[in-house]
């Protein structure tokens, strides 16, 4: 890397960590909560690794106060959390469960008291089961159901919460949940119906943006958090760089894994031509006002970036996958560890959509356990974070407006179809005893936050745990 002039991140840059309700809360049927599609899906044998579920998970519902204290020890400025729709509206529509709302009320207060800014995701996949029985995201009413739920949340929390994220990774809950059928609710719909689900979820996003704008008690900042589908150029030749950009704008046949099918409607107000051609007859009917509803202006583009796909220029000015050397680094999911993914994807999204970017998730799953010395030495996570943040700094240096970074995840949690196989946390959780242990990466992240990122260029991540421990003891 060439000499860096300004090593810190921009003033006001937000440093946070993220979680999602179903992955940490547990208390799946406490205090009037209704079941979600994940509660039902995890009860079917053979769907989840080790047949596990989020019924207890990190028991955060009961331990939120001590968890917020740990966030304080980490020095977090912001915390991205999600709300469980069926905890608040057990049937998905109609009756509101006050006890469920009270939980989020207490959590938000606790965060604010600790000086941590809550960023609230309205939908991170735990859809009310009762609504799935009524047709779920395929139903014509589904966008309105989401708008009504959003109104309940805004009425209750928008006197304190100002940062809102509508949907998390529609590519996943539509693609995996409604097309491939490997996530809840496990529907294997054909492409035409899956595209209808996609369209309804985009309408739901648009309605939610309008509801937040109309009813928020404080000025709101609104975004969403799709997957950042990253491609990186195999070499630094202009042709390969153009190929990577092209790949990030592409739509692929019979697949919902792309950036633009989702984001073009939301930001630009129309589906990408390439997708319209590819999907052809499978396209849902689009109502006359739909695109205007979907493209309500948002304030930031949140995106979740973990991995990427190297590619190079093809013969026909297109792109082709590029081989990586055998044995190149991968995480436990076998996703490539590719720090440049965060550089190229942020660059692409910023050029195409011209919105401030917030990295709403980035992290790595490693083999973490509590060592004989009682600590968790997750050195690969420290290294991963340092490399990705260096690339994020690089893209900011190139002029891209990136406003924040949320590490996934605050703590080890229920990793969807993978159960508890994968640990993504800065905090280790013993799921038997619910004992929390700050990993070495938690200390390094604290150091990063305290130095506004500068330490990633001139300190060794591996010295950080001891340094922070010494500082805390003094
Ligand atoms: C997702 C979700 C998170 C995951 C994380 C690691 O991206 O799938 O937003 O809930 O846990 O991404 O896979």
Q: Give pLDDT tens digits for 365-383.
A: 999 999 999 999 999 999 9
* CA–centroid distance, residue 43 to ligand 1 (Å): 20
Is there a contact between 121 and 225 (Cβ–Cβ < 8 Å)?
yes
- Given a cut of 60, is residue 474 above it in pLDDT? no
3-class DSSP assignment, residue 258: coil
pLDDT class of 85 with cuts at 50, 70, 90: very high
> Does any domain span residue 1?
no
Quote the domain boundaries for residue 263. Answer: 14-473
Catalytic residue among 110, 241, 340, 361: 361
**The 231-233 sheet, strands edge to edge:** 231-233, 309-313, 319-321
- pLDDT at position 464 is 62
Can you tell me the mean pLDDT for 1-16?
A: 86
Q: What is the CATH number of the domain that holds 77?
A: 3.20.20.80
Is 361 a catalytic site residue?
yes
> Does any domain span residue 288?
yes
* CA–centroid distance, residue 181 to ligand 1 (Å): 17
> Does any domain span residue 343?
yes
> Does any domain span residue 40?
yes
Catalytic residue among 110, 169, 241, 415: 169
Can you tell me the distance from the alpha carbon of 431 to that of 132, in angstroms, rounded to the nearest whole number?
30
Counting the structural domains of the chain, the total is 1
- Whole-angstrom CA distances from 183 to 39, 101, 408 are 12, 26, 19
Is 351 a catalytic site residue?
no
Question: What whole-number percentage of the chain has pLDDT above 90?
Answer: 94
> Does any domain span residue 9?
no
Can you tell me the distance from the alpha carbon of 139 to that of 185, in angstroms, rounded to the nearest whole number?
14
* CA–centroid distance, residue 245 to ligand 1 (Å): 24
Can you tell me the distance from the alpha carbon of 474 to that of 472, in angstroms, rounded to the nearest whole number?
6
> Does any domain span residue 5?
no
In this predicted model, what pLDDT tens digit does every residue of 160-196 receive, in sequence order? Answer: 999 999 999 999 999 999 999 999 999 999 999 999 9
- Given a cut of 70, is residue 414 above it in pLDDT? yes
> Does any domain span residue 6?
no
Residue bearing the CA closest to ligand 1, atom 13: 415
> Does any domain span residue 2?
no
Give this prediction's pTM. 0.97
* CA–centroid distance, residue 243 to ligand 1 (Å): 27
Ligand 1 cavity residues, CB under 6 Å: 20, 23, 168-169, 172, 304, 361, 408, 415, 424
């Amino acid at each position: 890397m060439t000499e860096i002039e300004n090593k810190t991140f921009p003033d006001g840059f937000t440093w946070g960590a993220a979680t999602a309700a179903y992955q940490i809360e547990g208390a799946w049927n406490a205090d009037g909560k209704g079941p979600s599609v994940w509660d039902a899906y995890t009860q079917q044998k053979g769907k989840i690794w080790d047949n596990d579920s989020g019924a207890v998970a990190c028991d955060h519902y009961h331990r939120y106060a001590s968890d917020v204290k740990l966030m304080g020890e980490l020095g977090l400025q912001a915390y991205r959390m999600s709300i469980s729709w069926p905890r608040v509206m057990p049937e998905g529509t109609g009756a509101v469960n006050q006890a469920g709302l009270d939980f989020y009320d207490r959590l938000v207060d606790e965060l604010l008291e600790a000086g941590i800014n809550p960023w609230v995701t309205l939908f991170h996949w735990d859809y009310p089961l009762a609504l799935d029985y009524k047709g779920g995201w395929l139903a014509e009413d589904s966008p309105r159901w989401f708008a009504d739920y959003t109104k309940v949340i805004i009425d209750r929390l928008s006197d304190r919460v100002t940062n809102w994220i509508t949907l998390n990774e529609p590519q996943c809950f539509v693609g995996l949940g409604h097309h491939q059928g490997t996530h809840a609710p496990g529907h294997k719909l054909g492409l035409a119906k899956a595209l209808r689900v996609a369209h309804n979820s985009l309408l739901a996003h648009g309605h939610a943006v309008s509801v937040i704008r109309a009813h928020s008690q404080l000025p709101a900042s609104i975004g969403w958090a799709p997957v950042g589908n990253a491609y990186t150029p195999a070499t630094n030749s202009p042709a390969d760089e153009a190929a990577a950009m092209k790949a990030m704008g592409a739509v692929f046949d019979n697949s919902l894994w792309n950036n633009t099918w989702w984001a073009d409607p939301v930001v630009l107000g129309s589906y990408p031509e390439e997708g319209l051609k590819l999907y052809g007859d499978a396209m849902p009917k689009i109502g006359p006002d739909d695109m205007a509803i979907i493209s309500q202006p948002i304030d930031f583009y949140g995106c979740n970036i973990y991995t990427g796909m190297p590619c190079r220029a093809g013969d026909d000015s297109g792109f082709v996958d590029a081989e990586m050397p055998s044995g190149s680094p991968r995480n436990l999911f076998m996703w490539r560890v590719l720090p440049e993914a965060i550089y190229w994807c942020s660059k692409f999204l910023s050029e195409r959509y011209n919105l401030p970017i917030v990295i709403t998730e980035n992290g790595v799953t490693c083999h973490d356990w509590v060592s004989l010395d009682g600590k968790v030495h997750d050195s690969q996570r420290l290294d991963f974070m340092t490399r990705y943040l260096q690339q994020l700094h690089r893209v900011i240096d190139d002029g891209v407006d990136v406003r924040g970074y949320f590490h996934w995840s605050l703590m080890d949690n229920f990793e969807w179809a993978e159960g508890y196989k994968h640990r993504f946390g800065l905090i280790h959780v013993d799921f038997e005893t619910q004992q929390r242990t700050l990993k070495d990466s938690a200390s390094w992240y604290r150091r990063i936050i305290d130095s506004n990122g500068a330490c990633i260029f001139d300190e060794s991540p591996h010295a950080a745990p001891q340094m922070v421990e010494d500082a805390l003891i003094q």
